[in-house]
A and B are shown apart, each in its own frame.
Chain A
């Protein structure tokens, strides 16, 4: 394979961002537009001041031209994230967040921070969340098993980050562990 080693086992963050940009998001359009057909489906019509649901990438595009306001998803506000952060720091398991929250949050924060309440607080909460969750996946590394790995509620960006070395470590362990069945001390659910 001609791909560099690091690109073989996982995709890049910008690619994940692209995937996440297909998600639908609500906007308040400032222009009107007829129903328009795209490969993924038809979106619109946009009739200000009525809300419309369109893919994130169109919303970003319109927002950059100042032709819409993005309505933050229900999870992208200070109260919700604060609550999740409390859960995250008080419980050993990962708290449940939308699968592609990191990508969507970053895209929205980048282009539409003026549509959010208290974007700085949201940014710092997201950062705290990320750090708390990273610490947990590091704990997961300590109990790594050669045959199974269960990290429920891990999000796409986090999975993508740990995938290359988790995979490699597990494959090395597979080589080293001789008798998986007779070795119950190392197993963990």
Chain B
């Protein structure tokens, strides 16, 4: 999850829409809201993708609320048990919850941004051991044992993984698999 210019993840994360409340009337830009109106009226609420919202917010045309994937309901759920929240369901388009959060964090004021950063990194930390545990577990099982019915919580956790967690999962799984293969392979057939 890097945010350089060519990062596909960053582009996807910036494609999320946030709700902006316009502070001024803006003539001739009604198409941004997707409606048929010609102008944007004062105090109208319009969903704007983040890449566009930057400019609008920085130039003080509009203000925005913290989007629901990072709202107080989700915050409380994460505080209660980070592993039981399905991050991928919170955001559409590939489930880049951390990426989306990071882009929001970058346009917030210091205090709010710190709070956001705390939430994001704490969530990540709390979920990380579970991600790696399951990855290693699956590396050992191989494909045959993957369909256990007893592991419902584990499965719903896996389905709720954010894209960057998914990447981590496959990295850890692949690496554990390789190492296990090496340990088990007596390897003397080559001689």
Contact = CB atoms under 8 A, between A and B. Distances in A.
Binding between chains A and B: yes
Interface of A: 5-6, 9-10, 12-14, 17, 60-61, 64, 106, 110-111, 130, 138, 141-142, 144, 146, 157, 160-165, 168-169, 171-173, 175-179, 182-183, 186
Contact of B172 (A64, A165, A175): A165
Interface in B139-191: 164, 167-168, 170-172, 174-176, 178-179, 181-183, 186-188, 191
A176 B122 CA distance: 9
A10 B121 contact: no
A100 to B, nearest CB: 13
B179 A178 contact: no
Contact of A5 (B124, B132, B133, B171): B171
Interface in B62-87: none
B138 interface: no
A12 B79 CA distance: 39
Q: Which 8 A-B pairs have the closest CB atoms?
A: A13-B182, A178-B117, A6-B174, A165-B172, A176-B121, A164-B171, A176-B120, A161-B179
Contact of A176 (B98, B168, B175, B183): B98
A60 B190 CA distance: 12
A182 B114 contact: yes
Interface residues of B, number: 39
Given A168-B167, A172-B98, A178-B113, A106 B183 contact: yes
Contact of B178 (A13, A60, A130): A13
A164 B172 contact: yes
Contacts of A173: 121, 124-125
Interface of B: 1-3, 98, 101-102, 105, 113-114, 116-118, 120-121, 124-125, 128-129, 132-133, 135, 164, 167-168, 170-172, 174-176, 178-179, 181-183, 186-188, 191
Contacts, number: 107
A83 to B, nearest CB: 22
A169 B167 CA distance: 10
Contacts of B176: 161
Given A14-B182, A157-B179, A169-B128, A176 B117 contact: yes
A17 B124 CA distance: 34
6 contacts: A13-B182, A141-B128, A157-B179, A162-B175, A168-B164, A183-B117
